Amino acid sequence: MTFSVAVIQFTGLPGRARENRERSVRLIEDAAADGARVIVLPELAISGYTLNQDDLSAAAEPCDGPTLSAWTEAARRLGVVIAGGFCESDGGRLYNSALLVGPDGLLLHYRKLHLFDGEKLIFTPGDRGLRVASTPFGRIGLCVCYDLRFVEVMRVLALQGAELIAVPTAWVRGFDKIERDGDGLIGQARGAIVQANLNQVYIACASQSGTAGDVAFLGCSLVADPYGRILTGPLAQDIEATLVAPMDPAIAQAALVRTERVKPREDRRTDVYGVTAGGQTL
C-alpha cells in the first residue's frame, strides 16, 4: 500500500491562535487535495513558537480543546491522519504538546520530553512517554523537535513498531557550529535522516519558517525513507510551502533485512545493552 505524506512548513504567529488554527485547517485541506493521506504540521503551530509566557498562556488549551476538535473534523471529512503541535494547559502547567488525529479522533497525545533552551523556563517536561499508534496508513510514532537529539527516542519508537515517525519542529540556531552543509541541510535535519536509516523508519519533519517576533526559524522541512534517502526537501528557511512524498510501509519492513547476514534489528546485542520504555525492556 503506497500513499503520500505531507509536511507543511509555515509560521504560526504568536498571539493569533484562532487565526493559526483556521489556517492550519486550510493547509490540511490543500495537502489532502494534493493527495496526502498523512499530514504533519510544525511544533507549536497553533500558539506560534515564542518564549513569551503571556502569549503562550493566552493561546494554551486542554488536549480536548478547539484544536483537537478542528483537526478531528478535518481528518474525518478528508480521510486523513494529522500530526501537529500546540500549547497545552493542564493543572496550571504548560506543555509543548502534539497530537496525532485520525478520522475516528485522537490517536496519540504527546508532550515534548526534552525541552530546549528557554523552553525550560516556561514548559513542564513531558510525562506521557513514547507511544506508537496503528492508523489506516501504517504505524506512526510522534516526537517533537529537540527530542530528535536523543537517539533513544527514535529507537524506542522504532522498536515499538513505528513505520513512520512524525516530527513537528521549530528548528532554530543554538546547537550546531555549522548552520548548513553543502547539501543545504541543517544539523537537525541531517541527524533526522541518519536516524531514519539507522532505525529503518520513514521520518517526516515539518518546521516553522521565517521569523515570529524575535525568533528566527531555519525551515528545512523534509521527508526521508528507511534507507536515509531524502524523498522531498529540504525547504529553505524563509519559505512557506507543503511538500508531498510517497510512503510504502512495506519498504520499512524490507529495510529490516539489508542482506542475508545484515539484519539491523536482529543484530542488536541486547545481552550487552538495551533501551526501556514504560518499564519494559525493548
Cis, peptide link before residue 103, omega less than 30° from 0: no
Q: Report residue 148's pLDDT band, with 50, 70 and 90 as the boundaries.
A: very high
Of 97-101, 211-215, 259-263, where does the model show the most confidence? 97-101
Grid cell, residue 112, equals: 515534548
What per-residue confidence (pLDDT) applies to 121?
Answer: 98
DSSP classification of residue 174 = S
- Angstrom distances, CA of residue 223 to CA of 9, 197, 269, 273: 12, 12, 30, 30
Inform me whether the pLDDT recorded for 278 exceeds 90: no
Residue whose C-alpha is closest to residue 242's, from 211, 194, 209: 209
**Of 112-116, 181-185, 203-207, minimum mean pLDDT range:** 181-185
Lowest mean pLDDT of 116-120, 201-205, 256-260, name the range: 256-260
- The residue-averaged pLDDT of 93-122 equals 98
CATH of the domain at 204: 3.60.110.10
What residues make up the domain containing 200?
3-281
Q: What is the pLDDT of residue 63?
A: 99
> What percent of the chain stands above pLDDT 70?
100
206 pLDDT above the threshold of 90 = yes
Express each pLDDT in 20-54 by its tens digit.
Answer: 999 999 999 999 999 999 999 999 999 999 999 99
pLDDT in tens, 171-189: 998 877 778 888 889 999 9
CA–CA separation, 42 and 26 (whole Å) = 15
| Cα–Cα distances in angstroms (integers) from residue 129 to residues 223, 238, 276, in the given order | 24, 33, 11
Q: Taking a C-beta distance cutoff of 8 angstroms, is the pair 20, 47 a contact?
A: yes
Whether the CB-CB separation of 63 and 99 falls below 8 Å is answered with yes
Whole-angstrom distance, CA of residue 198 vs CA of residue 196:
6
**Model confidence band, residue 141 (pLDDT cutoffs 50, 70, 90):** very high
Contact assessment for residue 20 and residue 56, using Cβ atoms and an 8 Å cutoff: no
First to last CA, the chain: 28
What are the two backbone dihedrals, phi and then psi, of residue 107, each rounded to the nearest 5 degrees? -105, -45
Q: What does the pLDDT average to over 257-263? A: 90
Please write down the HEC assignment for all residues of 109-136.
EEECCCCCHHHHHCCCCCCCCCCEEEEC
CB 13 within 8 A of CB 56: no
Number of domains comprising the chain: 1
* pLDDT score of 1: 83
81 - beta bridge partners? 38
Got the DSSP string for 36-70? EEEEE--TTTTT-S---HHHHHHH-B-TTSHHHHH
pLDDT reported for residue 169: 99
pLDDT of residue 183: 87
Q: Which contacts qualify for 178-184: CB closer than 8 Å, 24 or more apart? A: 179/218, 184/220, 184/234, 184/236
Span 241-269, average pLDDT: 92
pLDDT tens digits for range 220-244? 999 999 999 999 999 999 999 999 9
Contact present, 83 and 168 (Cβ < 8 Å): yes
The pTM of the whole model exceeds 0.95? yes
pLDDT score recorded for residue 175: 75
Closest residue by Cα to residue 199 from 122, 278, 143, 238: 143
Q: How far apart are CA 264 and CA 257, in angstroms?
A: 7
CA distance 216 to 43: 14
pLDDT of residue 155: 97
- Supply the pLDDT for residue 281: 87
**Statement: residue 218 has pLDDT above 80:** yes
When pLDDT is averaged across residues 194-223 and rounded to a whole number, the result is 96
Mean residue pLDDT across the chain:
96
